[in-house]
Amino acid sequence: MAIVPASKKQITPINLEERGIDVVDLNVLADLELRSAIERNDLGFLFSGFVNFSLPLDRIEPGVFEWERENMGVVMRVVAAKIMDPSTGQRVYQIPYGKMARAILLHICTEAVRTGDPVIDLGSSAAEYLRRLGFSLGGKQRQILYRQIQAVAGMHLVVTASESASGEQRIEEAEMLVSKNRALWFSTRPDAEGQDSLFSSSITLSDDFMNSLVNQGHGIPVDEGAWAYINTHSRSAFPIDMYTWLAYRLHACPPSGIKVPWERLREQFGSTMETKEFARHFRSHLPLVLKVYPAAEKAVSFVRGGVILRRAPSPIGNVHRTNPRALGEG
C-alpha cells in the first residue's frame, strides 16, 4: 500500500469546552489509580471526538464520501479514506462503522497514550488486543478487519464550530488526519487468521492527532473490561457508545441534573433511526450498560422528550474490578 504523506497545513484547534463539550484533564484523574491501571493493561483510551460524536452503527455503502454528526452546535465530519479490498483488489471510499472500527480506534489511541510513540503496531499486538475485547478474527471477520483498519487509519476529521451574534457569524474549523503513514500487509490465504494475517503492519499517527491525544487531554480513559463485556453481549455497537458517553459525562453533571433531548442524542450517536425508535433503542440497551456501570442506575432517568442525567462517580476509579467474574459470568 502506498505511503500517504502528512498534511503540512497548520491547524488551530477549536476549544470544545467553550461549546459545552467536556475535555478531560488527565492530571485531575491521577487519584483514580490511572497509572496502576495502565500498568495492568486494563485501561484504554479513546479520542474524545468519538465519545461526543459516534461513528455509524451499521455499514455505510462503499462510495459514500462523508459522514457528519452534530452536538451542541459543533459538527464533526468524517471524510472517508479510499481503501482496497484485498479479496477483490477494488478501491472504494469507506466510512468506518460498527464494533470493529471502534475497537481498532481504541487500540490505536490506547497504544499512543501508553507509549507516547506515534508508530502503532497493527500486527500481532493488534490481533491479540482485539481478541481480548472478544473478537474472533477468522473467516468473514478477517475481511472486515482488513477493511476497517484501512478506513480508520485513513480517515480525515473536520470539526466545525459556528456562532451568530449581532448580525455577525463566526466559524472555526479544525482538520486532522488520523495517520500520516500507513504500511499495511494483508495475507490473502484463506486459512490465515489474526496475528498471522496482518504481518508487520503499522501506521504512524499524524502530528495533530497524536498531539491532541497525548498533550491536549483528548485521550479519554475507558475501562477495557467493561468494553469487552458489552462487546461480547451485544451484536450492536450502540451500548458501547452509550457506556463510553455515560462514563465520560455523568461525573461532570450537576447534582440537580440536566435534560438531554432525544433528538440531540440521536444526532450525536449517529443514528439513522427516527427519534421515537432511537428512544426505545436507548432504553432497551441501558440494562447492559448498567451491568458494567451500576453507579449510573440512579443517575439516568427518562422524562417526556429526553433523558435526565445526574452526577455519578466515574467508573474508571474501579477499572481493575470490572471483569466477567465480578459480573457473575463465570
Q: How far apart are CA 178 and CA 197, in angstroms?
A: 23
Span of 16-25, 60-69, 105-114 with lowest mean pLDDT: 16-25
Q: How far apart are CA 161 and CA 273, in angstroms?
A: 25
**pLDDT reading at 245 higher than 90:** yes
pTM exceeds 0.75 for this model: yes
* Residue 292 Cα distances to 239, 241, 314, angstroms: 11, 13, 12
Question: What pLDDT shows up at residue 326?
Answer: 35
Q: How far apart are CA 135 and CA 121, in angstroms?
A: 18
Give residue 141's pLDDT band: very low, low, confident or very high (50, 70, 90): confident
Tell me which residue of 150, 175, 144 sits closest to 161, measured CA to CA.
175
Span of 41-55, 103-117, 143-157, 253-267 with lowest mean pLDDT: 41-55
Q: How far apart are CA 83 and CA 148, in angstroms?
A: 9
Q: Which of the pair, 169 or 261, is modelled with greater confidence?
A: 261
Question: What pLDDT shows up at residue 317?
Answer: 61
Give residue 284's pLDDT band: very low, low, confident or very high (50, 70, 90): very high
Q: How far is CA 19 from the centre of its chain?
A: 20
Give residue 7's pLDDT band: very low, low, confident or very high (50, 70, 90): very low
Question: What pLDDT shows up at residue 216?
Answer: 84
Question: Hey, is 49 helix, strand or coil?
Answer: helix
Question: Do 248 and 220 form a contact (C-beta atoms < 8 A)?
Answer: yes
Percent of the chain with pLDDT over 70: 79
Q: Which of the pair, 186 or 97, is modelled with greater confidence?
A: 97
Question: Do 216 and 120 form a contact (C-beta atoms < 8 A)?
Answer: no
Amino acid at the residue 256: S
DSSP classification of residue 317: G
DSSP classification of residue 264: H
List pLDDT tens digits, range 202-229.
999 999 999 999 888 888 889 998 999 9
Length of the chain: 330
Q: Break the chain into its structural domains and give their ranges.
A: 17-321
Question: What pLDDT shows up at residue 302?
Answer: 95
Question: What pLDDT shows up at residue 325?
Answer: 34
Q: Which helix (DSSP H) or strand (DSSP E) does residue 205 occupy?
A: strand 202-205
Percent of the chain with pLDDT over 90: 40
Cell numbers for 47: 479520542
Question: What pLDDT shows up at residue 25?
Answer: 42
Question: What pLDDT shows up at residue 163?
Answer: 80
Q: What angle do CA 327, 265, 134 make, to 5 degrees?
A: 35
Mean per-residue pLDDT over the chain, rounded? 79
Question: What pLDDT shows up at residue 327?
Answer: 37
